[in-house]
Amino acid sequence: MRNIRTGLKPLALGFLVAAAMMIFAVSSPSLAAEAARKAILSEVRGAVEVKISPGTWEPARTGMVLHELDEIRTGPASFTEVLLDDSGKTGRFEVEEKTRVRLNTMTWNSGTDEKQTLLDVAIGTIKIYVEKLKGKSKFEVNTPTAVLGVRGTVFKVTVDEKKTESGNTTPA
């Protein structure tokens, strides 16, 4: 009888340790799950198309919801405005004519309220209005030759056909 009891004590202790670890993992903000975010096309003018990943290109409409890895392209004399999160809570960006941009990363850590945003601009011009970011949040724009990171500003990025870009920033 004594051997059975001593054998059960380590087993019960193991279950308690496992349960405590699970409670800590669920309640720890640093280990909270990354949640999906959305972008909304608030204005669409001219020939604007979206590619809902991994689909095909389709005409864009005002109010259309986009997510991570979706793409936008504009034709000549075309324009769209994109709100990030609820009514542009994180920021917004304008996609000018003859531009192609992908929402490469759009994550949110619900435990820390930190957001990661990465836009890939293949060609064309976007003007970005970024709200002041919280904690370790990041907002970056990737071009064929550079990565720009900001924490609350207004700036414009242009990538021309020769794969060069220019940009300027104005404090928000």
Residues 54 and 101 in one domain: yes
Same domain, 9 and 87: no
24 CB-near residues (< 8 Å, 6+ apart) = none
Domain co-membership, 17 together with 78: no
Is 73 or 147 the better-scoring residue by pLDDT?
73
- Confidence (pLDDT) at 5: 53
The answer to whether residues 61 and 19 belong to one domain is no
**pLDDT number for residue 9:** 58
Is the Cβ–Cβ distance between 37 and 103 less than 8 Å? no
pLDDT at 68: 93
Predicted pLDDT at 89: 80
Tell me the per-residue pLDDT of 121-164, one tens digit each, with 9 for 90 and over: 999 999 999 888 888 989 899 999 988 888 778 889 999 977 54
CA distance 11 to 109: 35
Query: Tokens in use for 11?
Result: 């087993």
Answer yes or no: do 134 and 68 share one domain: yes
81 in the same domain as 67:
yes
Nearest to 150 by CA among 127, 163, 162, 160: 127
Same domain, yes or no, for 99 and 18? no
The CATH number of residue 42's host domain is 2.60.120
Mean pLDDT, the chain, integer? 81
Q: Categorize the per-residue pLDDT at 3 as very low, low, confident or very high, splitting at 50, 70 and 90.
A: low
Residues 16 and 46 in one domain: no
pLDDT at 31: 44
Query: Whole domain around residue 23: which residue ranges?
Result: 2-31
Number of domains in the chain: 2
**H/E element holding 10?**
helix 2-27
pLDDT (average), residues 28-46: 76
In the predicted model, is pLDDT for residue 107 greater than 70?
yes
Domain identity same for 7 and 60: no
Residues 132 and 69 both lie in one domain: yes
Are 49 and 15 part of one and the same domain?
A: no
Residue 79 and residue 17 share a domain: no
Among 45-54, 60-69, 137-146, 149-158, where is mean pLDDT lowest?
149-158
